């Protein structure tokens, strides 16, 4: 648990946060309880990666899967307000991890992700990561033609790796937020 001295609990050990600057990250300013796991081989100094309590860690990122629903803009704003952003999926391994996290028995749920259509056929990630059509995971027949459906959701449990669908921005869905894990 982080206290006012900027410390975090890692099981039974309490270690100080190591900052690259004197300013804590936006994510660190939003949360007081953290869960940490060993991230590097034994014997190195910075051996813990931490995420806010209730978030899930994969590689160097922390993920929050919401239980409530909002429209596309509200979802993006909510993530930003927590010091994160809607998830940017850059690999098949990350896609698989998120599919596993979102699986709930016999419940089909849509989660907003950080992929938007700027102009007809021009998809852009929220953090400006270049969109790579060959590393996209659209459902068959998606994205739909036209510009009315310009936000993207991941449909879980789809039962397939390709589960993205473009939707209208006013539709209310869950969201997946992502932030860099804090290393201590």
Of 95, 104, 19, residue with least CA distance to 59: 95
The model carries a pTM of 0.82
CB distance 28 to 83 below 8 Å: yes
Q: Stretch 35-43: mean pLDDT, rounded?
A: 69
Contact 162, 139 (CB under 8 A): yes
The per-residue b/e assignment along 47-82, b for 16 or more CB within 10 angstroms, e otherwise, is bbbbbbeebbbbeebbbbbbeebbbbeebbebbeeb
Residue 102 sits at φ, ψ, to 5 deg, of -90, 0
Query: Which stretch, 42-56, 100-114, 115-129, has highest mean pLDDT?
Result: 115-129
Tell me, yes or no, whether 88 lies in a domain: yes
- Give the three-class secondary structure for 80: helix
In a domain, 19, yes or no: no
- The per-residue pLDDT for 61 is 95
For residue 15, how far is the Cα from the chain centroid?
Answer: 25
The domain in which residue 159 lies consists of 55-183
pLDDT, average across residues 131-155: 91
Task: Give the CA angle between residues 70, 140, 97 to the nearest 5°.
Answer: 60
Q: For the chain, what percent of residues have pLDDT higher than 70? A: 79
In a domain, 61, yes or no: yes
Domain membership flag for residue 11 = no
Give a yes or no: residue 37 inside a domain. Answer: no
pLDDT at 78: 97
Determine, yes or no, domain membership for 109. Answer: yes
Domain assignment present for 164: yes
* Between 61 and 106, the higher pLDDT residue: 61
Contact 86, 175 (CB under 8 A): yes
> Is residue 163 one of the residues assigned to a domain?
yes
CATH code for the domain in which residue 104 is found: 3.10.100.10
**Domains identified in the chain, total number:** 1
């Amino acid at each position: 648990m982080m206290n006012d001295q900027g410390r975090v609990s890692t099981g039974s050990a309490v270690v100080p946060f190591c900052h690259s600057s004197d300013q804590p990250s936006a994510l660190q300013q939003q949360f007081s309880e953290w869960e940490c796991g060993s991230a590097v081989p034994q014997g190195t100094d910075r051996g813990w990666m931490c995420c806010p309590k209730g978030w899930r860690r994969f590689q160097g990122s922390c993920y929050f899967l919401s239980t409530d629903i909002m429209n596309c803009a509200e979802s993006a704003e909510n993530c930003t307000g927590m010091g994160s952003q809607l998830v940017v999926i850059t690999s098949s391994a990350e896609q698989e991890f998120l599919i596993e996290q979102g699986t709930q028995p016999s419940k089909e749920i849509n989660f907003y992700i950080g992929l938007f259509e700027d102009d007809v056929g021009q998809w852009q990630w929220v953090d400006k990561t270049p969109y790579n059509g060959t590393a996209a995971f659209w459902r068959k027949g998606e994205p739909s033609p036209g510009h009315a459906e310009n936000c993207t959701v991941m449909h879980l449990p789809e039962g397939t790796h390709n589960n993205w669908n473009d939707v209208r921005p006013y539709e209310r869905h869950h969201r997946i937020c992502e932030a860099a894990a804090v290393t201590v």
